[in-house]
Amino acid sequence: MGKIYTAMGLMSGTSLDGVDVSIIESDGNREFSSILDSYFEYDKELIQKIMIIREKITNSDKLKRHLDEIKDLEKEITLFHAKAVIETFKMSKSSVDLIGFHGQTIFHDPEKKITKQLGDGKLLSQLTKKKVVYNFRQNDLENGGQGAPLTPIFHNVLANQINKKFKLGFPLNILNIGGISNITSTVDWKNLGYSLNDINAHDIGPGNCLIDEWIRKNSKKKYDKEGLIAKSGKVDQLILNQAIENFTGNFDYEKSLDVKDFDIFFAKGLSLENGAATITEFTGKLIADGMNLVSGNQWLVCGGGRKNKYLLESIKNNFSKIKLDLIDEYEIDGDFIESQAFAFLAIRSLKGMDISFPSTTRCKESISGGIIAENF
């Protein structure tokens, strides 16, 4: 066992709801324990600013064109994260060694090796008086990777800890339903010749992004709580079949996905309830198809989408032999896995350990990543 670090992870996902904050203890390898998790909600004005800039930045040229606007918003988002960090420090008795700062993604184009997460690591370091690891994805892109998903190595730690306690056995797969859905096929540490390169991961389709967008644009709500709106509607089978056909014909599981790879246009004209039902069924079908990429029928689901009961039913109906359990049933809080993961990745980055692998991000070789700021 190497040195145990106390690290904080900050994650703001594509759902744009706020910042998840986690403090963990880990050696960046097999040792891991959760210390504290907290959540800080964005105010409506900040959410609106992020949505507007994200919609404006449709290509790399527009990223350059709106640079001043981006810098102003980046500072505002960094200040929000700093407040969240300081508030969390007050809740915890642990002294944090470093912070993993993901930032707020507004643009991601692996083909051009460009990814933009709003978040100033140097400013956060100055404000919190801590080492900050940020810009986790760029090195992966520079080395032929897709820049995502980065959490699989942490998923593998959780799977092995869960298996040790609950004896679920392998293969043990993890489905994360955030804004985008991704899967990790984990590997038993006890396997002879075990290698991190044996962990297999893919982005597989939309998660909450289309459902949330539909609800936000057609009601005063932010999301479909427990899938109740979709449940009250009726799937338009004709529109659903056409949408699936249009999408699956152009899909490549070797590439990472962004919320901008999808839109809700196909549901235009449907009622709130029928649109929610059709979009949720579309999402469930694509997720189920992606899950067929890996072997084994034992699945643990995490991320905000696991709370959408209608979506989970859709996945099960499209993938009949599946055993799909909430990861929460195994003493893991499914809301904070990504923030915990970026604390874990920050430790690996500090130690120069690999965070990207050919079997997870499609990079040329296993590499580390992240920039370390120490600005105090």
Domains contained in the chain, number: 2
Clarify whether residues 122 and 199 are in a common domain. Answer: no
Clarify whether residues 163 and 235 are in a common domain. Answer: yes
Clarify whether residues 130 and 180 are in a common domain. Answer: no
Is there a domain that residue 360 lies in?
A: no
Q: Which pLDDT tens digit goes with each residue over 262-289?
A: 999 999 999 999 999 999 999 999 999 9
Q: What confidence score (pLDDT) does residue 250 get? A: 72
Burial 149-181 (b: 16+ CB within 10 A, else e): bbbbbbbbbbbbbbbeeeebebbbbbbbbbbbb
Is there a domain that residue 93 lies in?
A: yes
Q: What is the rounded CA–CA span in Å between residue 134 and residue 374? A: 11
Q: What is the rounded CA–CA span in Å between residue 113 and residue 14? A: 19
Is there a domain that residue 204 lies in?
A: yes
The pLDDT confidence band at residue 137, using thresholds 50, 70 and 90, is very high
Q: What confidence score (pLDDT) does residue 253 get? A: 85
Clarify whether residues 193 and 236 are in a common domain. Answer: yes
Q: What is the mean pLDDT of the segment spanning 9-31?
A: 94
Q: Exposure of 344 by Cβ count < 10 A (0-12 exposed, 13-18 middle, 19+ buried)?
A: buried
Q: Which residue has the tokens 């350990």?
A: 353
Clarify whether residues 120 and 237 are in a common domain. Answer: no
Is there a domain that residue 46 lies in?
A: yes
Clarify whether residues 269 and 235 are in a common domain. Answer: yes
Clarify whether residues 87 and 214 are in a common domain. Answer: no
Clarify whether residues 102 and 180 are in a common domain. Answer: no
Clarify whether residues 33 and 111 are in a common domain. Answer: yes
What pTM does this model have?
0.96
Clarify whether residues 140 and 178 are in a common domain. Answer: no
- Give 175-244 as a DSSP string: EEESSEEEEEE---TTSTT--GGG-EEEEEEESSHHHHHHHHHHSS-SS-GGGHHHHTS---HHHHHHHH
Taking every pair of C-alpha atoms in the chain, what is the biggest distance, in angstroms?
59
Clarify whether residues 316 and 345 are in a common domain. Answer: no
Tell me the CATH number at 95: 3.30.420.40
Domain span holding position 209: 152-330
- Give 50-118 as a DSSP string: HHHHHHH--SHHHHHHTHHHHHHHHHHHHHHHHHHHHHHHHH--SPPSEEEEEEEEEEEEGGGTEEEEE
Clarify whether residues 70 and 181 are in a common domain. Answer: no
